[in-house]
Structure 1
Amino acid sequence: MTNRILTALIIRIAGIFLLTKIFDHFGSYFLSIYLSATIARFDEMLIEPIDKFYFTGTFLIIANIVVSIFLFVKAEWISQKLIKSEKEIITELNPKSLSKVILLTVGIVWLATSIYLIPSFIEYCVILISKLSGNEDVELPDFATSNYILKTILALLLIFRIEKISNWITKKL
């Protein structure tokens, strides 16, 4: 396997992952829009915010579909632009390389989850600041802040200190 083939494979997987993210919010987004629009009272009171929310969300879903299909279809072209030299990837399976792969995979998944949850974390912080400022009517949303911060820190440590951690793990074997 070459660098270019591996990059094209990763880009295709990213395109598929991006396409599947549509279904995470699809039900709640469209259900909230259409249920709100069917109730006459909400339709009269909230017509402008609902329209704005509907068009913004619909545009983002369409953009998501277009980008994911582009990544999936044009993966070889993108990998040729990113990787100029065609080098063969040669690895041997040993405890150190296996521990690096596992640690790096866990770190990347945790970091991707953290990036995906940034809007929820910001919303939680804004509501927490509002509550601490004296607004007692505000309820804090259900968000595992300590879990979010801990996984983000651990992900960054796993990614940037992979060599030292894998050396420590293989030394213990």
Structure 2
Amino acid sequence: MTNRILTALTIRIAGLFLFTKIFDHFGSYFFSVFNVASLSRFDELLNEPIEKFYITGIFLTIANIAVSLFLFLKADWISNKLIKTDIEIKTELNAESLTKVILLTVGIIWLAKLIYLIPDLIEYCSIFISILSGNEEIELPDFAIANYILKTILTLIIIFRIEKISNWIIKKI
């Protein structure tokens, strides 16, 4: 097995992980839309908010499916872009190969999770800009922006500096 094949396998696992995230909110989302739409009395009162909720949920579901399918189907292409030199992975388990596998797996799974949270980030930023523009009646949604930024930075460092990080970890052992 080469490092590109292992990277492609890890990316496919991240794509499957991202695809399973659909089922986290799928049932509750469509059940709530169905319940509100079935109540004819509230249909007139909640017409605009439910349309916004419905369109946002559909967009998130479609984007999640598209990104997860892209990761799953184009894993070989992505691994060719990420891994420039195709090196045969040794069959023996040593500290260097194990460290790289763990770091790469964590980096790819965090990247998939960060991609999944992009719509929440966009919503948070748009509401924050609205508050800065003078609309103080709006309340910020519950989104850990500092955590998102920190994980983005750490993910990029892990993915693009995997060699240096694994060498540093091995020196510490």
Residue 6 of structure 1 deviates from its aligned partner by 5.6
Match of 2:58 in 1: 57
Structure 2's unaligned 5+ residue stretches are: 81-85
In 2, Cα distance between equivalents of 1:146 and 1:8: 30
Q: Per the alignment, do residues 109 and 94 of structure 1 end up closer, same or farther by CA in structure 2, a change over 3 Å counting?
A: same
Of 87-96 and 100-109, more deviation after overlay is shown by 87-96
Structure 1's unaligned 5+ residue stretches are: none
Of 10-19 and 105-114, more deviation after overlay is shown by 10-19
Q: Per the alignment, do residues 22 and 3 of structure 1 end up closer, same or farther by CA in structure 2, a change over 3 Å counting?
A: same
Q: Per the alignment, do residues 4 and 155 of structure 1 end up closer, same or farther by CA in structure 2, a change over 3 Å counting?
A: closer
Residue 35 of structure 1 deviates from its aligned partner by 1.4
8 Å CA contact 2:10–2:105 kept in 1: the answer is no
How many aligned residue pairs are there? 160
Matches within 5 A, 1:33-44: 33-44=33-44
Q: Per the alignment, do residues 161 and 9 of structure 1 end up closer, same or farther by CA in structure 2, a change over 3 Å counting?
A: closer
8 Å CA contact 2:14–2:109 kept in 1: the answer is no
SS at match of 2:141: coil
Match of 2:160 in 1: 160
Q: TM-score, normalised by structure 2?
A: 0.71
Structure whose alpha-carbon radius of gyration is higher: 1
Q: Per the alignment, do residues 11 and 152 of structure 1 end up closer, same or farther by CA in structure 2, a change over 3 Å counting?
A: closer
Residue 22 of structure 1 deviates from its aligned partner by 2.6
In 2, Cα distance between equivalents of 1:49 and 1:140: 17
Residue 27 of structure 1 deviates from its aligned partner by 1.8
8 Å CA contact 2:3–2:87 kept in 1: the answer is yes
Q: Per the alignment, do residues 101 and 12 of structure 1 end up closer, same or farther by CA in structure 2, a change over 3 Å counting?
A: closer
Residue 18 of structure 1 deviates from its aligned partner by 4.8
Residue 119 of structure 1 deviates from its aligned partner by 0.6
Match of 1:24 in 2: 24
Match of 1:103 in 2: 103
Residue 2 of structure 1 deviates from its aligned partner by 6.8
Residue 94 of structure 1 deviates from its aligned partner by 1.2
Counterpart amino acid of residue 172 in structure 1: K
SS at match of 1:36: helix
Residue 4 of structure 1 deviates from its aligned partner by 9.3
Q: Per the alignment, do residues 8 and 133 of structure 1 end up closer, same or farther by CA in structure 2, a change over 3 Å counting?
A: closer
